[in-house]
Amino acid sequence: MGTGTGIGRVRGLGSVRHGAGHWLTHRYTSVSNLLLVLWLIFSLVSLPGLDYESVRNWIANPLVAVPLMLMLVSVFWHLRLGMQVMLEDYVHDKGLNFFAILLLNFYTIAGAAAGIFAIAKIALTGVVK
Amino acid sequence: MARTTSRPLSPHLTIWKWGPHMAISILHRVTGNGLATVGVMGVVWWLMAAAIGPEAYASFIHCATSPLGYLVMVGISWFFFQHMMSGIRHWVLDLGAGYELNTNKRWALVIPFLSTLATVALWAFIFAGKF
């Protein structure tokens, strides 16, 4: 750490006025996760079966596709924040930490995109005849 | 800063006696990261398989209903209930409540019991109701 200006001493050391935002968003997404994942579990166990046609027809309903997409956004957002904290705690090497968080960002965006695209495809191509 | 090496280092994990509050804390992190990797990838795989077609879905079902598949699904469901209930405990702690030693210890012990009960109830319902 240098002995230069105030900004020079703190630069690169972590959050500047957005640490609370990270923490709060983690809590907000925990509320939406609780609602949406419990909804998914209750829905899955009350479906007549989990075979291809039942699942396709279920996801094709807009009242299912939308909450399912919201669930993926909420879950991936929440895990992105949580895993960042875990990496910051355990990966001490600065370069390695940067690389790990880069991979985490790729994982989050790619995973959420794959899941949301899958739901959209099913929802927009309609039920199985 | 000069430090006298004969003095104990604190705070440091190794000098503290393990308690339920520490176990549930690390369990929250373990279950969270397990869900974030294995659990979430399982759900995305399921959705992708359903979107790709009947053959892809059949191979997903083949893997998911294998002995290993059931082990992972039961494990992930316990991870979910444990993380969910431990997360609700965190909401209470975030409000500044539940830090009294006895209260804190009681909930740290009750939550793994409740999450196990929820997991058993879920799978009992699935097997009794469907198969």
Task: Kindly tell me if the per-residue pLDDT of B73 is higher than 50.
Answer: yes
Contacting B with CB below 8 Å, chain A residues are 27, 30, 34, 37-38, 41, 45, 49-52, 55-56, 59, 68, 72, 75-76, 79, 82-83, 86, 111, 114-115, 117-119, 121-122
The answer to whether residue A21 is domain-embedded is: no
Report yes or no: B26 at the A interface, CB cutoff 8 Å: no
Q: A117 vs chain B: nearest CA distance in angstroms? A: 8
What pLDDT score does B131 carry? 46
pLDDT band of A116, cuts 50, 70, 90 = very high
Higher-pLDDT residue of A16 and A68 is A68
What pLDDT score does A18 carry? 74
The answer to which of B9-18, B62-71, B103-112 has the lowest mean pLDDT is: B9-18
Interface test with B, best of A29, A31, A46, A50 (most B CBs within 10 A): A50
Alpha carbons B33 and A82: distance in angstroms, whole number: 8
- Residue identified by tokens 């059949």 is B58
Q: B114 vs chain A: nearest CA distance in angstroms? A: 16
What pLDDT score does B30 carry? 98
What pLDDT score does B103 carry? 94
Expressed as residue numbers, the domain containing A45 is 31-125
> By CB neighbour count within 10 A (0-12 exposed, 13-18 middle, 19+ buried), where does B65 fall?
exposed
Average pLDDT rounded to a whole number, residues B19-32? 95
What pLDDT score does B11 carry? 66
Total domains in the fold of chain A: 1
pTM value is 0.89
Average pLDDT rounded to a whole number, residues A111-126? 96
Tokens matching residue B59: 């191979």
Q: What is the pLDDT of residues A19-41, one digit of tens each?
A: 789 999 999 999 999 999 999 99
Q: What distances in angstroms separate CA A106 from CA B38, B42, B103, one per listed residue?
A: 16, 18, 41
The answer to whether residue A20 is domain-embedded is: no
What pLDDT score does B9 carry? 63
Q: What is the pLDDT of residues B77-131, one digit of tens each?
A: 999 999 999 999 999 999 999 999 999 999 999 999 999 999 999 999 998 865 4
Average pLDDT rounded to a whole number, residues B34-61? 98
The answer to whether residue A59 is domain-embedded is: yes
The answer to whether residue A16 is domain-embedded is: no
Q: Residue A72 maps to which CATH number?
A: 1.20.1300
ipTM of the complex: 0.88
Q: What is the pLDDT of residues A56-97, one digit of tens each?
A: 999 999 999 999 999 999 999 999 999 999 999 999 999 999
Q: Where are the domains of chain B?
A: 32-65, 67-131
Q: A8 vs chain B: nearest CA distance in angstroms? A: 22
Residues B46, B60 contacting (CB under 8 angstroms): yes
